[in-house]
Amino acid sequence: MKPVCVFRHARTEGAGYLGTFLEQNAIPWCEVRIDLGEILPASADAYSGLVFMGGPMSVNDDLPWIGQAMLLIQEAVKLDIPVLGHCLGGQLMSKALGGTVSANPYKEIGWCEVMVTDHAEAKKWFGDVERFMSFHWHGETFTLPAGAIHLLASEHCTNQAYALGKHLGFQCHIEMTVEMVKVWCDTGRSEVESAITSAGVQPVDEIQRALPERVYALNTLAHSVYSVWIQGLKREIC
């Protein structure tokens, strides 16, 4: 089986729980560390799936790899290779597929409930779950690409996830681990403090309250979602 390729855009924003999930399911995967200057692959065809993680930059920034990433996404969709995006990754997918990315009315940092839309496609990905507590760290939002189905919304951000066939884009972070949350709170403390008046931003102490229990519940939800996504991985024909 060809590996799943995970694109890391920042040192602190790697595969997280997704990496654990792939290993537990004996799915080979590799990582392209864009933050270290590693070169993006020339084609998506070498992989069974593509995953784009988060990052502090904007997809509207003038960075050389952003255009290359969007070309890979477009190629993967054309080749029926499933794409999965988390936060920045979901924004990259949206822009690559004809959507737009712009400032969200509220910055969201911390734990916030997301609601699952009443749609058969949402039930396919989330089963009988109607709402869950997810993790957030973003100031921008995406529009849905043409043909995409709206899956999740929160109080402060309407577009939290969408599906386009076997392709899945998130604004929120379902890949979090306890260690990732702690590191983000440490490295991003000044950002939290400067945005604390936003209705969607929580103090660091609240973000880290009951952390093992919150992350465990989120990992359980992510396990179910990722289990659906890997069913679409492109298998090699013998």
* Structure-token pair, residue 24: 């537990």
* Candidates 156, 172, 173, 185; catalytic one: 173
- Collapsing DSSP to helix, strand or coil, 8 comes out as strand
Cα dihedral sign, 151-174-20-74: positive
Q: How many angstroms from the chain centroid is the CA of residue 148?
A: 16
Asked if 173 contacts 137 with a C-beta cutoff of 8 angstroms, the reply is: yes
Q: What share of the chain is helix, strand, coil (3-state, %, to 5)?
A: 35, 25, 40
Q: Measured between alpha carbons, how far is 125 from 162 in angstroms, rounded to an integer?
A: 10
Q: Which residue has the tokens 């999930």?
A: 21
* Structure-token pair, residue 7: 């694109």
Which run of H or E residues covers position 153?
strand 149-154
Is residue 172 part of the annotated active site? The answer reads no
Q: Give the CA radius of gyration of the chain.
A: 17
* Candidates 5, 87, 112, 157; catalytic one: 87
Is residue 136 part of the annotated active site? The answer reads no
**DSSP type of residue 131:** E
Asked if 52 contacts 236 with a C-beta cutoff of 8 angstroms, the reply is: no
Catalytic residue numbers read 87, 173, 175
